[in-house]
Amino acid sequence: MSNSPLATVTQISPNRNSPRNHKIDRITIHCFVGQVTARRGCEVFQPASKKASCNYVVGYDGSIGLCVDEGDRSWCSSSPANDHRAVTIETASDNKHPYAVTEKAYAALLDLVTDICRRNGAKKLLWFGDKDKTLAYTPQAGEMVMTVHRWFANKACPGDYLYGRHGEIAAEVTRRLDEEDDEMSYEQFKQYMSQYRKELQDNDCGEWSKEAREWAIQVGLFAGNGTTSDGQPNMMWQDQLSREQAAQLFYRFAKNNGLA
Ligand SMILES: [Zn+2]
């Protein structure tokens, strides 16, 4: 199981169970209650006496730290059952209601959650906003479900600032995963490229270049590609010119003028 390449700090906490006993199909975002960097946040979970940890810390400056391997269960959400299947993320926040996070932390959080979904095969991040419905739900293949600490303990976590944005986070992450799904392969790109060039390979051209085009044909620089388009020699005016073709053009020009 991999960890996020977005993490620039790694400080593994002893407060964990290795390995986790359930496939990752949840993400639980927490508020750290303090505007810390990822490094400082991870440090807090280093003493065994702390008896707490998380998989990742997102700092107020957008830094990301790995505190417990994704393959292991963190001690984060007051629910072993949740934490065995969730990737838990502590996000640097103000230390009072509504536990706001910085823009940088929020942006890094979106990147991290997207990365966690992608690496764990999720195409969709779901937020139901309802404890009973969520805990009773069995995620389908390709689904990742968001849960919150306040469902498992008498806590405000993740704070109203982040809690109120859970729908937005789920929508934005799903949108990003969708977009990646649409990314074309190299083979498709080449196919589209040749399709696009075919479109350009006819006699369409601008009026502004008329004099030059007529001259180029007349002196024998351009002869078209040997096929016809609309009954005319196909000059492919708007297609790309390769370096090879440029050399041939200059050479023809030089020959015609006794320069080569
Ligand atoms: Zn929490």
> Same structural domain for residues 100 and 194?
no
How many angstroms is it from 75 CA to the middle of ligand 1?
10
pLDDT at 256 over 90: no
How many angstroms is it from 30 CA to the middle of ligand 1?
4
Q: Assess if residue 3 is contained within a domain.
A: no
How many angstroms is it from 83 CA to the middle of ligand 1?
11
How many angstroms is it from 52 CA to the middle of ligand 1?
10
Q: Quick one: what percent of the chain has pLDDT higher than 70?
A: 100
Written in H, E and C, the secondary structure of the chain is CCCCCCCCEECCCCCEECCCCCCCCEEEEEECCECCCHHHHHHHCCCHHHCCCCCEEECCCCCEEECCCCCCEECCCCCHHHHHHEEEEEECECCCCCCCCCHHHHHHHHHHHHHHHHHCCCCEEECCCCHHHHHHCCCCCCEEEEECHHHCCCCCCCHHHHHCCHHHHHHHHHHHHHHHHCCCCHHHHHHHHHHHHHHHCCCCCCHHHHHHHHHHHHCCCCCCCCCEECCEECCCCCCCCCHHHHHHHHHHHHHHCCCC
Model pLDDT, residue 221:
87
Q: Out of 148, 181, 214, pick the residue that ends a domain.
A: 181
CATH of the domain at 68: 3.40.80.10
Task: Quote the number of domains for the chain.
Answer: 2
> Same structural domain for residues 21 and 120?
yes
Q: What is the pLDDT of residues 80-93, one digit of tens each?
A: 999 999 999 999 99
> Same structural domain for residues 112 and 90?
yes
| Burial class of 25 by CB neighbour count within 10 A (0 to 12, 13 to 18, 19+) | buried
Model pLDDT, residue 207:
94
Domain residues for 139? 9-181
Amino acid making up residue 196: Y
> Same structural domain for residues 114 and 137?
yes
Q: Assess if residue 77 is contained within a domain.
A: yes
Q: Which of 18-27, 100-109, 199-208 has the lowest mean pLDDT?
A: 199-208
Mean pLDDT of 162-169: 98
Q: Out of 163, 181, 199, pick the residue that ends a domain.
A: 181
> Same structural domain for residues 176 and 191?
no
Q: Out of 129, 158, 181, pick the residue that ends a domain.
A: 181
Please give the model's pTM, rounded to 2 decimal places: 0.72
How many angstroms is it from 122 CA to the middle of ligand 1?
23
How many angstroms is it from 119 CA to the middle of ligand 1?
24
Q: What is the pLDDT of residues 49-96, one digit of tens each?
A: 999 999 999 999 999 999 999 999 999 999 999 999 999 999 999 999
